[in-house]
Structure 1
């Protein structure tokens, strides 16, 4: 009997054949994942298995390890933009989309936890959400969390994105948006791509300016949180506002 011809490759799938035991290896990964959850797999194994869903015909372990090296770990990998992902050898648009959907699901779950309770009584959930969404970004991003009179989150908006070391923040726009939304209070947030969350003089100055402008309109600035790979800083906790 003639051998069956190989299945055609998908349009953007690399033409690489997996090792003979690839199916068995993936089965073992799947078994460990289902039996023990995510903690049963190493970081590269989690990414490796995710990639098998879009690259079923090749060995994804080297690609997973290359991704983690390139982006400095899972956090940096998940927050990387699609264009950066596809510059890594072996990553197609399909694979980049799988990585981005994994990140989107994580962020949506964490945000839902923040929205369930008053933010000030759910502070750790807020920090977890902000860390997952912002800490690893290569571009500085400034966002405002809008709260109602019960300190429930009513809107979470990115106000500006800056260069690698600064984001343009316009006080009038921040306050005008809070008035439009009927916000009773706001929390300012931005990230430091350098990884060091220590506030600069400019960070402190803009925070105080927004706080003063908000107070004149009956809008409280609860805090300004700076996120970085190496942790976070609360200007409120530091006594800076």
Structure 2
């Protein structure tokens, strides 16, 4: 069914205006960006196909503009660029507008970097540097690994803290599978990093693993909150 054949009150744009953006499905929201469909398919159908092809919104957010336009029927370079820009705006909004936020809890840490890490399709390790009031100094990329494994060493993790005179650090990384449960390698690294931090008199505030909230589980795992740090 073409969008013009849908009752006016159920068309994505009209529905958004009358009922709010929260009333739209993922496919309907995407259809607003796509604007037009292709022969035999409405913009909503093209959007639904795109979501299925990319594995939902998380998979879609991990795609670059070139990946979105390559081999995706109905999505050209201009539409792909608009979608990539929309996802980037969402990530920046998720990080908040505070220039130097206080990151003193796993919840605050996940709110600041979770969207970025969820968008990664490779296991990625970052270190967050904090001052004595646990305010953000900067976020440093440490390593980019394979789909399910990343290699990091305490010396690479702590080097930025020394360079920027950080009082505390938070290790964060993602599990592209979506399950934030720590592996044995994650546990070993945390123990090693805690010992190295103690020797160097740098506070290891937490190690947070970012995943997704699929099935009602928490989208992140905190070693500190779990009593493992």
Do both proteins adopt the same fold according to a TM-score greater than 0.5, normalized to the shorter chain? yes
Change (3 A) 1:169 1:222: same
Change (3 A) 1:240 1:143: same
Deviates more, 1:222-231 or 1:107-116: 107-116
Q: Which runs of 5+ in 1 are unaligned?
A: 1-17
TM-score, with structure 1 as normaliser: 0.80
Q: Counterpart in 2 of 1:111?
A: 95
Q: Distance in 1 between matches of 2:3 and 2:86?
A: 29
Equivalence map 1:28-177=2 (5 Å)? 28-52=11-35, 59-86=42-69, 87-113=71-97, 115=99, 117-120=101-104, 123-177=106-160
Deviates more, 1:106-115 or 1:19-28: 19-28
Q: Which runs of 5+ in 2 are unaligned?
A: none
* Structure of greater Rg: 1
Kindly provide the CA deviation profile for residues 41-96 of structure 1, in whole angstroms up to 9, marking residues without a partner as x: 111100110122xx588732122101111222222212223343223222222222
Q: Counterpart in 1 of 2:185?
A: 202
RMSD of equivalent CA atoms: 2.7
Deviates more, 1:136-145 or 1:40-49: 136-145
Kindly provide the CA deviation profile for residues 214-237 of structure 1, in whole angstroms up to 9, marking residues without a partner as x: 222221111111112343211112
Quick one: which of 168, 182, 186 aligns to 1:185?
A: 168
How many residue pairs get matched?
A: 221
Change (3 A) 1:154 1:24: farther
Quick one: which of 197, 200, 209 aligns to 1:226?
A: 209
SS at match of 2:180: coil
